[in-house]
Copies of this chain bind each other. A is one copy, B any other.
Amino acid sequence: MTVLGWLKGYRRGWLAGDLGAGAVVAMMMIPQGMAYALVAGLPPVTGIYASILPPLLYALFGSSSTQSVGPMAIVSLMTASALAPLAAAGSALYGVLAAQLALLSGVVLLACGLLRLGFLANFLSRPVMNGFTIGSSLLIAWDQLGTLVGAPLPRWHGPSAALGLGALALLVLARRHGAATLRRCGLPPGAADIGARLAPMLLVALSIVLVAVLGLDRLGVRTIGAVPAGLPQLNLALSGGHWQTLARPALLIGFMCFLISMSGAQALAARKGEKLSTNAELVGLGAANVGSFLSGGFPVTASLSRSAVNFAAGANSQLAGIVTAVLLGAALVLPTGWLALLPLPVLAATIIVAVLGMLETATLRTAWHYDRADALALLATAGGVLLMGVEGGVVVGLLLSLGTMIWRESRPHIAVLGRIAGTEHFRNIERYDTETRGGLLLLRVDAGLFFGNVEAVSARVEEALDAHPGTRELVLVLSAVNAIDTSALFGLLELNAELARRGVRLHLAEVKGPVMDRLKESALLQRLSGRVFLSTANAWNALSSGDE
């Protein structure tokens, strides 16, 4: 529901949950936003900038009550990969282009939303999406290893490596045992889970103290340096001259922002019994990305890990997102000098733990046993990301999703039917004891007819005719055919002509209402060499009695 929806229905009892969740997510967002800005190749503070306007705008237009919109690891990786050929990371031009990429992605999302293209969410299969996440996570973790140990691999810088690996170990421990430990300390289970999620924030604070006390920065540990205080300036920079080059990555980033956000939103909406509108989601994310441009940020989307915390912490509406945004804005207005000593190896550790947390092998294991083709598509997509980068990975995944679909659709099941003696039931002659009549062939096509399978259906019909010589009457039983597209209409016209040449009449039976409505507008019914029967039994009676 959009802002009017949730504001109108707002209940006073929701307020505590929204305030608490908003605060928890804000504390999670500070290290995460800065870390994902680093992944995108940008100064850490831009990650905070990209966490203020986007959730505010999403709250106005988005449809989910618990989505937490802001920087997200995979989208940051895609941003870095799009900008790498155009500008040096850290340069002023790089920052301008990152914001422009957010603007273009936002425009793509808004356009798709206004054109009601929400069905595009169905373009990637779940195994392919999982493969994409796995490949991207590994790529991001790999990229951070150098920062973690303070030097490009295989070298390392002692104090940095100690800090980074120590932080990594603590974060893994917190993720594995944090919640249980807090429960044992007496916290209620919900609060314990959320407390464990704040480990990165605590670690960031702790590491700043450590750097200050031990003077680690003077030992060569790199820190994020001075963070400008104050809210982001309004950014309207449209120069840079790379609009055309940015268009293609913006399309892909917009597409992935939408898919990543939807997959999380659907999981949480199901638990709340909430209805999502894919088109409102497109508009909400589009507005959020335009907001990110205005605050000099980079492409953003909803992160499942943050949204899940938001949900678990009791968010009841997008007011929680607004609270997060206000708190982050307030944090920037307060003195930010203390952040300067935040060591990069610790940020790298938070990134690595966050992205490795996105790795899950359940989908792969399930697919491997259930449907090997899906499992191979998953592995190929992950491999595509690792070998060809995120853009190549998306394209590989898209083609594999669609390829497996076309491949399956191009092999429709077709059954030769016979009558179950003494009834008006007609079933597959291979599975049931049925009676058939010489010269009459009944074929049931178990798939809608469209360009992807019409040639295969024609070929299968001709095979069936070869296997049943002497056939004079062929009945296509269309009980399972929900649609016939234009390509299939032409295919049926050609099949009709071809069968006439062979001296076989083509009949149709059990044509569904919506299919019949369309066929009435076409030439097929006039040219059909045979008749259209309401039921298979009618066809059987008319065609086997010899009076037809």
Q: Measured between alpha carbons, how far is A459 from B119 in the docked complex, in Å?
A: 13
**A128 nearest CB neighbor, chain B only:** B451
Q: Is A374 an interface residue (CB 8 A)?
A: yes
Q: Is A521 an interface residue (CB 8 A)?
A: yes
Partner of A126, one of B451, B498, B523: B451
Q: Is A124 an interface residue (CB 8 A)?
A: yes
Q: Measured between alpha carbons, how far is A459 from B121 in the docked complex, in Å?
A: 14
Q: Within 8 Å CB of A513, what residues of B?
A: 431
Asked if B405 and A452 make an inter-chain contact with CB atoms under 8 angstroms apart, the answer reads yes
Q: Within 8 Å CB of A459, what residues of B?
A: 275
Interface string of A374-408 (1 = CB under 8 A from B): 11000000000000000000000000011111111
Partner of A366, one of B121, B122, B271, B489: B489
Asked if B521 and A370 make an inter-chain contact with CB atoms under 8 angstroms apart, the answer reads yes
Within 8 A of B (CB), among A114-129: 119-127
Q: Within 8 Å CB of A275, what residues of B?
A: 459, 462
**A459 nearest CB neighbor, chain B only:** B275
Each complex incorporates copies of this chain amounting to 2
Q: Is A143 an interface residue (CB 8 A)?
A: no
Q: Within 8 Å CB of A502, what residues of B?
A: 273
Count chain B CB atoms within 10 A of each CB in A270, A403, A408 and give the residue with the most.
Answer: A270
Count chain B CB atoms within 10 A of each CB in A370, A448, A486, A494 and give the residue with the most.
Answer: A486
Please judge, given known A-B contacts A366-B523, A447-B482, A502-B273, whether A125 and B266 are in contact too, CB under 8 Å. no
Q: Is A181 an interface residue (CB 8 A)?
A: no
Interface string of A461-478 (1 = CB under 8 A from B): 010000000000000000
Q: Is A410 an interface residue (CB 8 A)?
A: yes
Q: Measured between alpha carbons, how far is A413 from B513 in the docked complex, in Å?
A: 12
**A404 nearest CB neighbor, chain B only:** B485
Count chain B CB atoms within 10 A of each CB in A371, A482, A483 and give the residue with the most.
Answer: A371
Please judge, given known A-B contacts A273-B502, A406-B119, whether A370 and B489 are in contact too, CB under 8 Å. yes
Q: Within 8 Å CB of A494, what residues of B?
A: 267, 270
Partner of A402, one of B270, B371, B402: B402
Q: Within 8 Å CB of A363, what residues of B?
A: 486, 490
Q: Measured between alpha carbons, how far is A125 from B490 in the docked complex, in Å?
A: 11
- Per DSSP, chain A at the interface is helix
Q: Measured between alpha carbons, how far is A359 from B94 in the docked complex, in Å?
A: 49
Q: Within 8 Å CB of A483, what residues of B?
A: 408
Count chain B CB atoms within 10 A of each CB in A485, A501, A502, A521 and give the residue with the most.
Answer: A485
Asked if B450 and A125 make an inter-chain contact with CB atoms under 8 angstroms apart, the answer reads yes
Q: Within 8 Å CB of A480, what residues of B?
A: 446, 480, 482
Asked if A126 and B490 make an inter-chain contact with CB atoms under 8 angstroms apart, the answer reads yes
Within 8 A of B (CB), among A436-466: 446-448, 450-453, 455-456, 458-459, 462
Q: Is A367 an interface residue (CB 8 A)?
A: yes
Q: Is A361 an interface residue (CB 8 A)?
A: no
Q: Is A522 an interface residue (CB 8 A)?
A: yes
Nearest chain B CB to A227's CB is how many angstroms away? 41
Asked if A126 and B486 make an inter-chain contact with CB atoms under 8 angstroms apart, the answer reads yes
Count chain B CB atoms within 10 A of each CB in A266, A375, A405 and give the residue with the most.
Answer: A405
Q: Is A91 an interface residue (CB 8 A)?
A: no
Asked if B489 and A522 make an inter-chain contact with CB atoms under 8 angstroms apart, the answer reads no
Q: Measured between alpha carbons, how far is A122 from B458 in the docked complex, in Å?
A: 13
Nearest chain B CB to A281's CB is how many angstroms away? 12
Asked if B450 and A448 make an inter-chain contact with CB atoms under 8 angstroms apart, the answer reads no
Asked if B366 and A486 make an inter-chain contact with CB atoms under 8 angstroms apart, the answer reads yes
27 A-B contacts, Cβ less than 8 Å apart? A122-B451, A123-B452, A124-B451, A125-B450, A125-B487, A126-B451, A126-B486, A270-B494, A270-B498, A271-B501, A273-B502, A275-B459, A363-B490, A366-B486, A366-B523, A370-B521, A371-B485, A371-B489, A374-B487, A375-B486, A405-B450, A405-B452, A408-B448, A413-B482, A446-B480, A446-B482, A447-B482
**A-B CB proximity, top 3 nearest:** A125-B451, A126-B487, A374-B486
